[in-house]
Amino acid sequence: MQKGSSGASTRDHGLAALIRSLELHDALGPEERRRLEEMPMRVVRFAHGQDIVREGRKTNECGLLLEGFAGRAHFLENGKRQMTAVHIPGDFIDLHGLLLKILDHSVVGLGQSSVAFVPHEDMRRLTENYPHLARVLWLSTLIDAAISRAWIVCLGRRSAEQHLGHLVCELYTRLHAVGLIDGDSFAFPVSQTEVGDMLGLSTVHVNRTLQNLRATGFLAWDNQVVTVRDFGALAKLAGFDPIYLNLFREPR
């Protein structure tokens, strides 16, 4: 873990990502926005694979992902690993730690990432004084939960091809919503082994499944860059319906 030499620009950039991310679901008032901007935060950069938050630890800060990706990783007795979520810039990676106290999983960096840590007491004060902001933050954890349910459905009842396609659709849609899609592609700095940990598949099978998907022509995935050639067709193949991401503004 390296202390962030990154100055105010990373901070401002990340804050903008958070606010944009929250405002996907409901507009914030100027006062709410100002309070968020005033939050004290400590920016830290992480290399690929580093633990951002470690399982079982009592935390006293919330991590806000500024750049890069992060995954929630659960480790089993037998050494296997299962990821349960992927976070993108603007996401709180452990907002649930604010109330859960002890986390049952780690959060690891995917690619180079930077995270702003905000003390729990500041978050707490914010939620106590600004009930609407508290609801929007609550909502963001509810959407995380909705994404978890979608993962359960994919794991339980979809084919490997559908599941991998669904993951791409999910990431594409979420990244697109916060303006992080470049043309029709995005960098996704993870190995096929790590994709396997997201989908609950072996590395070998991820490789073969990916080949099948590439053969459809709906997407390309090379050198850790994913290109969605035909989103509609991919979404149909994967049974992806973005409704669960709640990407519409509405008073909450």
Partner DNA sequence: CGGCGCGTTGATTACTGTCAAACGGTGTGG
Partner DNA sequence: CCACACCGTTTGACAGTAATCAACGCGCCG
Q: Measured between alpha carbons, how far is residue 53 from residues 46, 87, 185 in Å?
A: 11, 13, 29
Q: Interface with its own copies includes 231 (CB under 8 A)?
A: no
Q: Which of 69, 70, 65, 87 is nearest to 13 (CA)?
A: 65
- Pick what 209 binds: its own copies, DNA, none; C-beta below 5 to 8 Å, kind-dependent: DNA
Between the two ends of the chain, the Cα-to-Cα distance in Å is 37
Q: Which of 19, 139, 181, 220 binds its own copies (CB under 8 A)?
A: 139
Q: Measured between alpha carbons, how far is residue 43 from residues 9, 57, 67, 168 in Å?
A: 11, 20, 11, 29
Both structure tokens of 185: 């592609």
Binding mask 102-121 for its own copies (x = CB under 8 A): x-xx----------------
Task: Identify the residue whose tokens are 């029709």.
Answer: 184
SS3 57: coil
Minimum separation from the CB atom of position 212 to DNA (A)? 9
240's enclosing H/E stretch is: none
Q: Which of 34, 54, 57, 80 binds its own copies (CB under 8 A)?
A: 80
Minimum separation from the CB atom of position 135 to DNA (A)? 39
Binding mask 159-188 for its own copies (x = CB under 8 A): ------------------------------
Q: Which of 29, 31, 57, 99 binds its own copies (CB under 8 A)?
A: 99
Region from 46-54, 106-114, 135-143, 223-231 binding its own copies, contact rule CB under 8 A: 135-143
Nearer to its own copies, 16 or 142 (CB): 142
The contact set with DNA (CB under 7 A) reads: 159-160, 191-193, 200-205, 207-211, 224
Minimum separation from the CB atom of position 57 to its own copies (A)? 12
**Could you please report the per-residue DSSP string of 128-168?**
HH-HHHHHHHHHHHHHHHHHHHHHHHHHHHS-HHHHHHHHH
Nearer to its own copies, 13 or 132 (CB): 132
Q: Which of 27, 142, 220, 233 binds its own copies (CB under 8 A)?
A: 142
Question: What one-letter code names the amino acid at 200?
Answer: G
Beta-carbon neighbour count of residue 175 at 10 Å? Answer: 19
238's enclosing H/E stretch is: helix 231-238
CA atoms within 13 A on the CB side of 81: 18
Residues that bind its own copies (CB under 8 A): 56, 72, 74, 76-77, 80-82, 84-85, 96, 99-102, 104-105, 127-128, 131, 134-135, 138-139, 141-146, 148-153, 155-158, 199-200, 239, 241, 243-244, 246, 250, 252
